[in-house]
Amino acid sequence: MRRSVRAVLALVAGALAVGGFAPFGLFVLPLLALAALLWLLEAQTPRSAALIGFAFGLGGFLAGVSWVNVSLSQFGGMPLPLSLLATVLFCAYLALFPAAVCAAQRMLRPSALLSPWLFAALWVGGEWLRGTVFTGFPWLASGYAHTPPSPLAGYVPVFGVHGAGFAAAAMAGLLVVALQRRIAARSAMLWAGALLLTGVLLSRVGWTEASGRALTVSLLQGNIEQSMKWAPERLPDSMSAYLELARAWPADLVVLPETAIPLPYHEIDAGWLAALRATGRDVLMGAVTVGEVDGRPRYFNSALAVGDDGKRYSKAHLVPFGEFTPPLFAWTLQILSIPMSDFGRGAAVQPPLELAGERVAVNICYEDVFGEELIAAARDATLLVNVSNTAWFGESWAQPQHLQIAQMRALELGRPMLRATNTGMTAAIQPDGRVSAVLPPFMRAALRVSVQGHTGRTPFMRWGNAPVLLLALLVVIAAAVQRKRN
């Protein structure tokens, strides 16, 4: 088969793999796509393998995260041709990671029995790097497809999202070995069955336990259109919308989404804040706050307890270009028109907030994509709360994908995850990663749920990504040693 044909097939396989993630949830598709990718690499040179891996990644990211174009053009003010070019270049950058993985796979030339494990090690190593380099973009890491009901979800509380990704990639490799080599087929199927059975058994383990009394929580979804949110004439509508929702759905804890009111917190009418405060035992609100960095005033993207702004969390992992401008890219400010796009960075570790009798670990929007960064606060917390504004991405797959990411965090950390969003998807997620309640997107409503805090620690909370990365490193070393001997 010609190299160009293999590249086209890889492009299609990468695009089809997106069906394994939300909103489709066909979790077997990414596994089959990875098997197809490994099959296409057979007998290829490292250079050809890199091209095939790049095509696979490009197909997957163009299909899965092209909603980036919506934020750039529709809400960021970038001309459409330029935003399309920027989106393609961004996806091409992300595709470099699977390209490097495939080149390394062929460069090391592992034996038939080692090949699946090396592929899994390289694959999760590449995804971990993609989520780390240049502040990271781990969206659509293969493990995210394996939230419940996937049988591989049991690996998540132990090894995190990359543990599920490792198991899936290894099973894909074992499938290829079984189809290509009769001698190793039985052994490969036994290993695949063992991986599957282990995942099922682990999913039955309760790593954390409920504590304290149940409390009622109201999660408010104002559905303020992003293009109008920062218009001064729409401010009264935003304020009345959230106050009416809070009054209609009082609870022990009332949660408003990220930057719910488009004003710095200290400029919001005190009477309105007092009326909002009266709707719950505690009220947590996403808001812009003002602080100092190196003696200069800076804005912060925060969430704070109304009436007690000493209970505050400020976002630590900022979005490049949306919340800060990377060095050497100041010229992009002349193209993009994103309000409040220069925030100060909160402390890397911030303690949970004492709210409604619970210890609440807060994260804001994009931060919940970085599971290991949430561990420090989650250890001492009983609840996780995410406040978001994904209106930036319109009616795209970004919202259900983000909800699936939140499911993974709840499963990794063994805590309920509550999400209050501007336009969706506002939801309550159980510690086992299952969504117990969710509001339809793009409607003005409140979600009132009963939730109970959890205590205890999952293995992932103790060790983070270290075990799966160490395993991946040992497999790569074994393959390198084998290559040298051969």
| Active site (catalytic) residues | 258, 315, 365
Give the list of residues 6+ apart from residue 404 with CB closer than 8 angstroms, or none. Answer: 21, 22, 144, 147
Among positive and negative, which fits the CA dihedral 420, 426, 428, 432? negative
**How far is Cα 406 from Cα 418, in angstroms, rounded to an integer?**
9
Query: What values do phi and psi take at 455, rounded to 5?
Result: -125, 170
Place of tokens 């996780």: 384
Q: How far apart are CA 121 and CA 169, in angstroms?
A: 8
Say which amino acid occupies 377.
A
Q: Token pair for residue 79?
A: 């001309």
In whole angstroms, give the CA distance from residue 386 to residue 428: 10
The residue behind tokens 């299952």 is: 434
Other C-beta atoms closer than 10 Å to the C-beta of 170 total 24
Q: With beta carbons less than 8 A apart as the criterion, state whether 426 and 221 touch.
A: yes
